[in-house]
Amino acid sequence: MLHPPPNVKHPILKKKESFVLAIPDSLCPFSDPSQKEEGISATPQIHLPALSAVPFILLSEDHDLGKISRKICDTAAFHPNIRCICTSSNTAFSLARRGMGIAFLPEIYARTTSFPDIHFFTPDHFHDTRDICAVYRKNIYHHAQFQALLALLREIVPAIYRAA
């Protein structure tokens, strides 16, 4: 187990984050809008091979989520039809909203965004997570803005990632 260096505090918060597929209405496999449910706890699962003809927007292999999305595809023995590769989750989400393809995103997008033109699904065979945390150095001056940020993180992040 890795331990933080002595000059670093333990994480002030640590949460597990999973991944979702953002699918625009124009590419959604369900034509009945009543099948779209709100909230991550109601995010339906989808079988990746069913999306073999649909274009995908992937993040570059240099990006953590780019590596994870490729691992998800490999686990499902799925070869996505890649339309474009970008370097930002926000860009991938924006392109998905414009109907360019399906994007792998952190679950926070499904938890904090509500757009009528996008559906969120979880891959049915992949349930891995990654840790998200905030870590900071101790024994240095923390100005008021930084202390306010820490207080905000302590309040907001647990609310976003509360057990579904």
The reported pLDDT for the residue numbered 8 is 53
- Give the DSSP letter string of 72-91: HHHHTT---EEEEEES-HHH
| Residue 8 bridge partners (DSSP) | 137
Q: What does the pLDDT profile of the chain (164 residues) look like in tens digits? A: 445 555 555 556 677 888 899 999 888 876 544 444 444 445 788 888 889 889 999 999 998 889 989 998 998 889 999 999 999 999 999 999 999 999 999 988 888 888 888 999 988 877 777 887 777 777 888 889 988 988 888 887 777 766 54
Is the Cβ–Cβ distance between 55 and 100 less than 8 Å? yes
Residue from 107, 112, 116, 130 nearest 24 by CA: 116
The reported pLDDT for the residue numbered 37 is 45
The reported pLDDT for the residue numbered 60 is 94
- At residue 149, what is the residue type? L
pTM, entire model: 0.74
Cα–Cα distance list, 147 to 27, 54, 140, 144, 160 (Å): 44, 46, 12, 5, 20
Is the Cβ–Cβ distance between 89 and 69 less than 8 Å? no
Residue appearing with tokens 């820490």? 150
